[in-house]
Amino acid sequence: MDRYKEIKKIAVVGPESTGKSTISAELALHYNTVWVPEYSREYCSKLTEPCSWQDEINMFKGQIDLENQLIPQANGILICDTTFITVKIWSEYMFGKAPEEVLSELSKRPYDFYLLMDIDLPWQEDPLRDFPHLREHFMNIWHKELQMLHANYQVISGLASLRKENAIIAINNYLTYFDTIS
């Protein structure tokens, strides 16, 4: 079997300021594997003007490239701090539509399991975050996006270590279920 197909890709997604990066790093450590950082965070930190249409396309390509670079280092599971679906969501919100490149890849690049981070964490100010008042709106959009993809996902709630524990339980349950149907 192809090594890439053996790797289970776990996507950590959700609105801004829901602990995606923190939980991704913690999960990678717990499962002794690597995690794919959010490419757009580094990319946007270098921008001197508001994000453009081309920037969204660049972030889409950068996220996929980063994932492709790190998957060979994965130990059975690859933890992805967000996915390029974020580009679709932001593009639709900011520009009224998503890049065709993103839309055409949605069905071609599935993730095995999604952890949708709940908006129960307090908002943390960050220069790269824009919408503290729209967290519920974007949470609803994430639900719709994952449902349209027929994605296997679970909402992860809880403060501090409880959030990590809930994420580990969700992943372990997914892996156990996957093993029983394989």
CB 180 within 8 A of CB 173: no
What separation in angstroms does the CA of 80 have from each of 67, 94, 143? 8, 24, 18
d(CA 96, CA 25): 33
d(CA 81, CA 129): 16
d(CA 24, CA 36): 8
pLDDT score, position 124: 67
End-to-end CA distance of the chain: 14
d(CA 143, CA 111): 15
CATH 3.30.420.40 for domain 3-181, yes or no, is: no
Instruction: List phi, psi (to 5°) of 155.
Output: -80, 135
What are the boundaries of each domain within the chain? 3-181
Whole-number CA gyration radius for the chain: 16
What separation in angstroms does the CA of 57 have from each of 51, 138, 158? 10, 20, 33
Neighbours of 9 (CB within 10 A): 20
Q: Quick check: pTM over 0.75?
A: yes
pLDDT score, position 133: 74
Coil, strand, or helix at residue 101?
A: helix
pLDDT score, position 167: 98
- Averaged in consecutive runs of 10 residues, what is the pLDDT profile of the chain (182 residues)? 72 91 96 93 79 87 94 95 89 91 89 96 64 84 95 95 97 83 54
Nearest to 14 by CA among 142, 182, 181: 142
CB 72 within 8 A of CB 5: no
pLDDT score, position 130: 66
